[in-house]
Structure 1
Amino acid sequence: MSLRAVQYLAMITAVAVLAACASAPTPVKSAESNLKDADKAYAAHNYDEAIAGYKKVRESYSSAELTMEAELKIADAYYDNKSYIEAASAYEDFRKLHPLNPKAPYALYRAGLSHYYQITGIDTDQTPVKNAVTMLESFIAQYPDSEYVVAARAKLEDCKVKQLEYENYVANFYIRTDKYPSAIKRLKEALVRFPKSPELDQTLFLLGKAYLESGDAAQAKATLLQLQQQYPYSQYKEKAAKLLQKAAKMQGTFVGYSSHRS
């Protein structure tokens, strides 16, 4: 065989080997391997990479146990990445799919927190507050002995304070725009809904003001005196005193307001 023929044969062989290597299928990672890689990414706070890895595990349908573990870790990664809308959805999906799973209480608690951390200002959409209250109340009612109950109650109380602050905010707007019946209705309902809130002194002050501005001096007087008796150190005491004097003039009597200065 000539040298040229040998060279040609060697070239053909090399091309065939390269083609075979190129066409060989890429080894598919196991679900366990993808889970380990995702866990490493999660530990390194590379949450997007972790979520992508957990989704591969979930979509492999390798086993029910691995699928559930991946689903919950997806939610946790969203939560730790402060992607609270996605976290809330992922936790709620986990609960719906696995209501009897031992991690279901944890998922419900974290769903409540995910809504809680979407809360922004008093003059913005209040849906996150409502959703947080719903989730946290449900969690406390269903799992009263959970290790997360104390923290859940604290967040729930804060949500209710925010709800009352919003009611006061809206009522104050009604007062400023001369819509006194709407303000009175909203404030009276707030007194019933949030009877133990620390913000009720503002509610009583605004209610007294709304009554006074609407011309009902008697109700204004009764409400402001209630404020005086229940919240003697309220930041609204001086303003309330002036409103009481105005109400007294409307009624033709004088009403004093204790200042309780220390």
Structure 2
Amino acid sequence: MSAQHVTSAQRGSTVEARGGRAWRALRLVASVTVLALPLAGCGTGALWDKFLAKDETYKDEPADKLYNEGLYLLNQSKDPKAASKKFEEVDRQHPYSDWARKALLMSAYAYYEAGDYDSCIGSATRYVTLHPGSPDAAYAQYLIAASHYDQIPDVSRDQGRTEKAMAALEEVSRKYPTSEYATSAKKKLEGARDQLAGKEMSVGRYYLEKRDYTAAINRFKTVVTRYQTTRHVEEALARLTEAYMAIGIVGEAQTAAAVLGHNFPDSRWYKDAYNLVKSGGLEPSENQGSYISKAFRKFGLG
């Protein structure tokens, strides 16, 4: 998504920089107060001069100027990291302005574009917390989810980040079901589910090779009962057929093969499962009381 899509974050007329005005007023009051104090001691003059010296650190810039500079860096210079700093400066110098609210969301987007996902999550979370009723809150929540999703590791590694991505994506769909981001969140959610199923399959194959059939079955069972809509379910059913045949629980092996054949008749995994059952002098046959059969009926797949 380009920065132009965050339309409500960029709308609005120029507002007066209230934070800067308040700070200058505070400095004026402080100066008047100091002028009313009597001089005492030879060291006071140096202290006085230091206090009254012009402090460039707190020289404010107009909020709209900072914001537009951030947009330029993001869209024209293609420097999202520098843009994020400009947007953050709006919030620092003008914390209670409308520009600060807009800049907070844009800083989250700029961080996302820069690949700084943790900073994106931080800014977007702050936006949702401070402005839960904003029309752009749905997009901020989506940025949180997308940041987690883009960090999903391969199946050989811990999938904690995948689980965080799923939770954040589900939050988008739950809180903002009619938003334009809900559809995209659902698609990413399926991708995250597929990743978790892939992890289960990877571990299950490992146990199968080690002939630890019970441990392998538990992994393949998770795929069948929790991730029926992923691309891994066909292999999971075939592997269940293999594992159950190996330990002599032929009824479950027959059911796994039958459910596989019913739902994926053209699958190469069904051919393997069918031949395996036939090699034992049996036929695929579904036991309606099996957890395998129940899992598929629950999702209308059986």
Shift of 1:179: 2.3
1:188-241 CA distances to partner (integer Å, 9 max, x unpaired)? 233221233343111101111221223323322322232222211112133223
Aligned partner (choices 261, 267, 270) of residue 228 of structure 1: 261
User: Aligned residue for 1:206?
Assistant: 239
Change (3 A) 1:154 1:256: closer
2: CA distance, partners of 1:35 / 1:234: 55
Structure 2: which amino acid aligns with 1:56?
E
Could you tell me how far apart the structure 2 residues matched to 1:206 and 1:85 are?
A: 39
Q: What residue number does 1:85 align with?
A: 118
Instruction: Tell me which stretches of 4 or more aligned residues in structure 1 moved more than 6 Å.
Output: none
Q: Is the 8 A contact 2:80 2:114 kept in 1?
A: yes
Q: In the alignment, which residue of structure 1 is the partner of 2:159? A: 126
- With normalisation by structure 1, the TM-score equals 0.79
User: Number of matched residues?
Assistant: 230
Match of 2:173 among 126, 136, 140: 140
Larger-gyration structure (1/2): 1
Give the CA RMSD over aligned residues: 2.3
Aligned: 1:38 with 2:39: no
Unaligned runs of 5+ in 2: 1-52, 286-302
Displacement after TM superposition at 1:25 (Å): 5.6
Aligned counterparts of 2:129 and 2:160: Cα–Cα separation in 1? 21
User: Quick one: structure 1 residues 203 and 25, their matched pair in 2 at CA, closer, same or farther if it must change by over 3 Å?
Assistant: same
Q: Is the 1:207–1:223 Cα contact (8 Å) retained in structure 2? A: yes
- Cα-to-partner distance string for 1:17-58 (whole Å, 9 max, x where unaligned): xxxxxx866554233322222221112211121112112111
Pair 1:53-2:86 in alignment: yes
Query: How far apart are 1:62 and its partner, in Å?
Result: 4.6
**Runs of 5+ in structure 1 lacking a partner?**
1-22, 258-262
Quickly say closer, same or farther: Cα 1:70–1:201, change in 2 above 3 A: same
Identity %: 25
Change (3 A) 1:201 1:100: same
What TM-score do you get using the length of structure 2 for normalisation?
Answer: 0.69
**Structure 1 residues 193 and 162: alpha-carbon distance in aligned structure 2, compared to 1, 3 A threshold:** same
Distance in 1 between residues matched to 2:95 and 2:175, nearest whole Å: 32
Instruction: Name the counterpart of 1:7.
Output: none
Stretch of structure 1 that moved more, 113-122 or 194-203: 194-203
Report the alpha carbon displacement of residue 145 of structure 1 after superposing the two structures with TM.
1.1
Q: Which has the higher contact order (CA 8 A, sep 6+)?
A: 2
Cα distance change, pair 178–93 in 1 and its aligned pair in 2 (3 A): farther
CA distance in 1, matches of 2:209, 2:177: 43
Listed one character per residue, the Cα deviations across residues 109-141 of structure 1 (whole Å, up to 9, x for unaligned) are 121111111123111221222112111111112
